[in-house]
């Protein structure tokens, strides 16, 4: 009986260099802000050409793990921006055929418990963030402005959890939610008023550290989105596209 083996995949040298540096960064042996040696020194340590090191550094920079600070020739360890991570995840969800229904179901599972954590962990600064988002929502005079303020409110509540995992879990969903939410608000006249009411009650719950009320109103708020989509005639199987995030 003959046996066949698959060919061994030869990994480019620059990827091995990138993997070695990336491992040090992710293990925190190289903390955020730490400067790497020069390209010449890295080439000497790894036993490769400078061009190989340069390509490895470009790859790590594109992943948000390195950056070149103004006025410095050396690369420094950086933290990947939350928005960059979220955009990448939202693109992946899009390519996996995420729909209005999928996003709504995910928000239904995530947001009410998230509001509970926010009610317990919020600070006075978090309350101010939520208040400012509510004020922008009350002053909003277009569907786009309503969406921007609504999403800002969601972000403020997530920030109030002081849990980076919850914030990163929420953000890709918000990017996918924005386009359909804008359409729904355009088509359903009462949507703006109901969103305002929900955000007022959520702010009151956070102010009073009332976890039960925060859960209740967030769950009601997300259910209202589904009702709004039905009234707007939005197909729940519609595939969504991410948009450029509004500034938090």
Q: What sign does the CA torsion over 198, 204, 209, 213 have?
A: negative
CATH superfamily of 82-232: GntR ligand-binding domain-like (1.20.120.530)
Residue 6 has pLDDT above 90, yes or no: no
Residue 28 region by backbone torsions, left for phi larger than 0, else alpha for psi between -120 and 50, else beta: left
Burial of 239 (0-12, 13-18, 19+ CB in 10 A): middle
Write out pLDDT tens, residues 93-132: 888 888 989 999 999 999 999 999 999 999 999 999 999 9
User: Distance (Å, rounded) from C-alpha 185 to C-alpha 228?
Assistant: 8
Q: Domain extents for the chain?
A: 13-77, 82-232
User: Distance (Å, rounded) from C-alpha 15 to C-alpha 62?
Assistant: 13
The mean pLDDT value for 172-183 works out to 89
Return the CATH architecture of domain 13-77.
Orthogonal Bundle (1.10)
* DSSP helix/strand/coil, 67: strand
Asked if 60 and 15 count as a contact pair (C-beta separation under 8 A), the reply is no
Give pTM, 2 decimals.
0.80
Amino acid 1: pLDDT: 62
CA angle at residue 132 from 186 to 212, to 5 degrees? 85
Amino acid 93: pLDDT: 85
């Amino acid at each position: 009986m003959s046996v066949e083996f698959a060919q061994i995949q030869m990994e480019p040298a620059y990827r091995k260099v990138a993997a070695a540096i990336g491992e040090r960064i992710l293990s925190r042996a190289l903390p955020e802000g730490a400067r790497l040696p020069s390209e010449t020194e890295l080439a000497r340590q790894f036993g490769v050409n400078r061009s190989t090191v340069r390509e490895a550094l470009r790859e790590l920079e594109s992943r948000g793990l390195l950056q070149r600070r103004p006025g410095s020739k050396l690369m420094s360890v950086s933290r990947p921006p939350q928005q960059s991570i979220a955009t990448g995840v939202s693109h992946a969800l899009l390519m996996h055929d995420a729909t209005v229904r999928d996003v709504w179901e995910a928000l239904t599972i995530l947001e009410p418990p998230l509001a509970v954590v926010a009610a317990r962990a919020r600070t006075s600064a978090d309350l101010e963030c939520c208040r400012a988002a509510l004020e922008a929502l009350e002053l909003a005079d277009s569907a786009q402005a309503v969406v921007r303020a609504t999403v800002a409110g969601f972000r403020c509540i997530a920030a109030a959890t002081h849990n980076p995992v919850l914030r990163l879990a929420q953000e890709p969903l918000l990017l996918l939610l924005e386009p359909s939410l804008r359409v729904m608000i355009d088509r359903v006249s009462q949507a703006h008023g109901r969103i305002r009411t929900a955000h007022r009650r959520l702010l009151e719950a956070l102010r009073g550290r009332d976890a039960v009320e925060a859960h209740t109103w967030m769950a009601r708020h997300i259910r209202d989105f589904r009702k709004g989509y039905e009234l707007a005639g939005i197909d729940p199987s519609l595939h969504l596209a991410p948009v450029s995030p509004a500034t938090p």
